[in-house]
Amino acid sequence: MTQLHERVLISQKAGAEIKLEIGNILNKYELHYDDTIQVYGQSIANLTLKEKVILGEFHREVEECLSKYTEQYSLTIGEKIRILCDILQNDAKYLIRWERHGDFDKEGDFA
């Protein structure tokens, strides 16, 4: 059981580092949430494709980030999906706020 617990902690640490690095990458580009959601969704799809589909420079850097941390932490496909889904869920939260209120800071919608 200890080994499983350690793996969860490693996966969480990798997730935090990936999210931080992707956030830094995102700061270089002027993208909307619909663009980032498409990139993260394609990254999930790429995990099971023989030939990856790359949707642009931002996506290429996201894929490189995932590769780097996959190697460093021996991430499984499931762990990478969970990390990418966490990022997607966060983006979706802000997209919902914008769609409903025209304001990214409005509280109460899946906050």
Residue-wise pLDDT for 41-97, tens only, equals 999 999 999 999 999 999 999 999 999 999 999 999 999 999 999 999 998 888 888
pLDDT score for 104: 59
| Most confident listed range (3-12, 61-70, 85-94, 99-108) | 61-70
Q: Which pTM was predicted?
A: 0.84
**Residue ranges covered by each domain of the chain:** 2-101
Chain-centre distance for alpha carbon 42? 11
Instruction: Tell me phi and psi for residue 50, to 5 degrees.
Output: -70, -40
Hey, CA dihedral for 77, 23, 99, 109, is it positive or negative?
Answer: positive
Cβ atoms of 66 and 47 closer than 8 Å: no
Q: Kindly state the tokens that stand for 96.
A: 């919902």
Residues 76, 78: Cα–Cα separation, whole Å: 5
Q: In the structure, what pLDDT confidence band is assigned to residue 100 with cuts at 50, 70 and 90?
A: confident
